[in-house]
Amino acid sequence: MNNNQQQRSFFFNVDWAVIFVYLALCTIGWLNIHSAVFDEKHPGFMDLDTNYGKQFVYIIIGLITGIIILLLESRFFSALAPVFYGITVVLLIIVLVVGRNVGGNQAWISLGGGFRLQPSELAKFSTCLLLARYLSSTNVRVTEPKAFLIAGAIIGFPMFLIMLQPDAGSTLVFSSLIFVLYREGVSPYFLILEGLFIALFVLTIKLNNLIFIVGGLIVLALIILFLFRRNRKVMPVILTGLAVCIAFVFSVNFLYTKVLKPHQKVRIDIVLGITSDIKGKGYNVNQSKIAIGSGKFWGRGYMQGTQTKYSFVPEQSTDFIFCTVGEEWGFAGATVVLGLYLFLVLRIIRIAERQRSPFSRIYAYGIASVIFFHVVINVGMTIGIVPSIGIPLPLISYGGSSLLSFTIMLFVLIKLDSNRMGMIYQ
């Protein structure tokens, strides 16, 4: 294959597997939204008075956007990364001023005609883009403290703005970018530390006994030190880690008791099994579990799920759309959906590793992390193993901003990938 041929047969370089999964997930989402919010007065799939009608429009808009992206120059995304980032930041600030408050979060900018924009969704894309642009610059090594801090700032700034809305779910999404940093060379200790933090977070809140946890950490550190007593290099790492962990425990405790709002505390409490208020805050999760659990193996059939049909699960078409999948398509359907996601993220990793350009690779890891984080948190929430934080299920949940944001992310990747044999963009 020579270069010219590549240029001409542009569409043959497009990764059709990703496009196939993209279309499959969008269709599954559309069908399930149809079932979840079915309205007898507007039975048509494309009736614009209904959410499924609107979702159809979003899918069309998404596809058009995707095609436009494929027609653009690859260079464009790398070059305009700072601009996108800047626009996003401005939008995130605007939303704090003029945003519409829905469900306690000031996250939407009304666009008129019933459509509204959620800047935090776009922030995920532009942050990935700028992070890729920065880390792929010559002479920037993430292993160096300065670069690490700048990368952290790129991720942290939108997190901070979203936290102000406050939208805990979207904020946490950015923490998934640790995978990107890890892939680019950040010490595995950070990954371990993040895992440790999650464990400590749970323990701190659940046990609510600082002395016990801190004591346990010290004992654990001493055991590790004893086991590795021949290896002098381990000692400072362990001691630093211990100090960081203890600091983390105290800050979590402070955050939980002093900073978190009661409704956020309750959500965490429910997942950790501290309280089981199935009528109040735990209602969503309980009904969601009932919906999914009642699906059994083959599900109750399309439009046959009583939990779905009679709206026992609030926010069914958005954050809790996976209930409909679980209830009406059963374990079989849930496995197919999770299988598609797993295939998608592994495929993206594969695509990432075949890029010659670090920019494309870093960007690909970024969106793989974001998509994966969304899936695990969202599905985990519906089956009650993760605190219920409202983030959508990529491409399936109802919502234009979310669908458009994931569409852009994926199609930019496809575009970059289709050009992988071309020149390296800086």
Q: Between residues 95 and 351, which has the closer beta carbon with respect to another protein?
A: 351
Query: Is 234 strand, coil or helix?
Result: helix
With beta carbons less than 8 A apart as the criterion, state whether 109 and 99 touch. Answer: yes
Q: Between residues 242 and 351, which has the closer beta carbon with respect to another protein?
A: 351
Q: Between residues 203 and 345, which has the closer beta carbon with respect to another protein?
A: 345
What is the C-alpha to C-alpha distance for residues 302 and 297, in angstroms, rounded to an integer? 14
In the complex, least distance from residue 62 CB atom to another protein, rounded to whole angstroms: 24
CA torsion, ordered 286, 290, 293, 295, to nearest 10 deg:
-150
- In this structure, the number of other CB atoms found within 10 A of the CB of residue 321 comes to 27
Stated as kind and residue range, the H or E segment containing 161 is helix 145-163
- List residues near another protein by CB under 8 A: 179, 182-185, 188, 191, 287, 289-297, 306-307, 309-312, 326-327, 330-331, 334-335, 338, 341-342, 345-346, 349, 352-353, 361, 365, 368, 372, 375-376, 379-380, 383, 385
Which among 236, 219, 120, 131 is positioned nearest to 181, based on CA atoms? 131
- CA 167, 169, 173: angle at the middle one, nearest 5? 120
In the complex, least distance from residue 90 CB atom to another protein, rounded to whole angstroms: 33
With beta carbons less than 8 A apart as the criterion, state whether 164 and 96 touch. Answer: yes
In the complex, least distance from residue 352 CB atom to another protein, rounded to whole angstroms: 8
In the complex, least distance from residue 358 CB atom to another protein, rounded to whole angstroms: 8
Which among 310, 312, 411 is positioned nearest to 69, based on CA atoms? 411
In the complex, least distance from residue 9 CB atom to another protein, rounded to whole angstroms: 25
In the complex, least distance from residue 82 CB atom to another protein, rounded to whole angstroms: 25
Which among 424, 422, 413, 423 is positioned nearest to 14, based on CA atoms? 413
CB-count burial class (<10 Å; 0-12, 13-18, 19+) for 65: middle
Q: Between residues 168 and 345, which has the closer beta carbon with respect to another protein?
A: 345
Q: Between residues 118 and 388, which has the closer beta carbon with respect to another protein?
A: 388
Q: Between residues 217 and 352, which has the closer beta carbon with respect to another protein?
A: 352
Q: Between residues 124 and 183, which has the closer beta carbon with respect to another protein?
A: 183
Query: Is 296 strand, coil or helix?
Result: coil
In the complex, least distance from residue 86 CB atom to another protein, rounded to whole angstroms: 30
